[in-house]
Amino acid sequence: MSRRVVITGMGAITPLGHDLPSTWEAIVAGRSGVAQITKFDTTGYRSTIAAEIKGFKASDHFPPKEARRTDEFVQYALVAAREAVRDAALPREAGVGERTAVIIGSGIGGIRTTTQQTLILAERGPHRVSPFLIPMILPDTAAGMVAIEFGLKGPNMAVTSACASGANAIGEAYEIVRRGAADVALCGGTEAGIVPIALAGFAVMGALSERTEAPERASRPFDRGRDGFVIGEGAAILVLEEREHALARGATIRAELLGYGATDDAFHIAAPDENGDGAIACMRQALASAGLAPEEIDYINAHGTSTPLNDVIETRAIKAVFGDHARRLAVSSTKSMTGHLLGAAGALEVVLSVRALETQCIPPTINLDDPDPECDLDYVPHTARPAPLRAVLSNSFGFGGHNACLVIGRAGQGTA
């Protein structure tokens, strides 16, 4: 019999705050984290806006040597993991480390270090490249550093599936705990991709919003005027735990992870399947894994990128899976406020889904001023909404056709 998996801790660092409480406060208030880019000169770029983490100083969190030898995507993961471990009151006694997995996703890893060191190579020669270059850029370094910090010796790996990376990391950690290979897992996603080459690359393929005159209004999922996503950065980490293990140590159970689906469109390297077949299959797989009927889902945290293709296709896919119930569902995109955290997006959206369950409050979709006629569901426009929530679905879809869907149930509602 499969073991039940609960969520006992969460942490986040996002464009809306350096921890989960400040991030959630901004989400409920409907505040945007999007502004003009300050990390580098954007002269000549087609898009000049992003959802940056404001006021982050590595020296506030790490000794000088460690700060110099770790890319920001690793630093963000460590900050979020520390909060999650504190939140879970996770003990360090013997045995816990050996039975704790660490699975952290990242879409592009240490791209800031890669670009910086490439310039050093070109300008100063190969002998001036940092000896820490390779560990600084590898996507698995985040999971490795978290394991080192907390002495966690269970299964450890990175998941890289573009914008589904964080959700896939949580899903794979769920499977590891469920099958008994670990009792606890730290999992989630991290990204620090607001760098010149990434901004230029996403822009020239037409993926980014160019609504630069009003950055806070640029991310507008399901709106007729949407013109692309807004790149963001940050990390979100969860502590998953086998239910009996959590109860035995007196942990507070925040929610239960009920089901996981993972599919691929096998359609196009960047565009979603125009029929939504991969997303449809993924949502159905997650519901089957959870043992829930579509009518038992109360809210969907949508992928909702604010791109012309994604929002229409995701809407069609939701209708195909949920039928008449799609009209009764609340659906919202928190990317309207956080921007798109790439490989960390799915993890943050699971964390926000848990907070929605805990507070019985649905996050809004801001900037939804002129709904696209093809996007005709209840997207909770502008203002957060109190509502009775028992189970929620979080969708993540990535370049390459990667799809990951997670079902989360409220603690104490027939689950945990």
d(CA 242, CA 222): 37
Three-state SS for 300?
strand
The span from the CA of 272 to the CA of 211, in Å, is 23
**Alpha-carbon gap, residue 331 to 302, rounded angstroms:** 6
**Residue 147 · residue 85 · CB < 8 Å:** no
Which two tokens mark 300?
């969907």
Tokens of 132: 């820490």
280 and 317 in contact (C-beta within 8 Å)?
Answer: yes
Structure tokens at 299: 């809210």
SS3 395: strand
Q: Please give the structure tokens belonging to residue 243.
A: 């239910």
E-only strand ranges, 106-233: 156-159, 184-191
Check if the beta carbon of residue 304 is closer than 8 Å to that of residue 411: no
Token pair listed for 70: 């770790």
- Between CA 51 and CA 33 the distance in angstroms is 5
What is the secondary structure of 7-26 as a DSSP string?
EEEEEEEBTTBSSHHHHHHH
Cross-strand bridge partners of residue 19: none
With 0-12 CB in 10 A as exposed, 13-18 as middle and 19+ as buried, what is 373? exposed
* CB-count exposure of residue 55 (10 Å: 0-12, 13-18, 19+): exposed
Query: Angle at Cα 109 formed by Cα 108 and Cα 111, nearest 5°?
Result: 80
Nearest to 320 by CA among 249, 262, 365, 377: 377
Distances (CA, A) of 233 to 107, 114, 190, 241, 294: 11, 17, 8, 27, 32
CA–CA separation, 280 and 301 (whole Å): 15
Which amino acids are annotated catalytic?
A: 163, 303, 340
Asked if residues 137 and 109 have their Cβ atoms less than 8 Å apart, the reply is yes
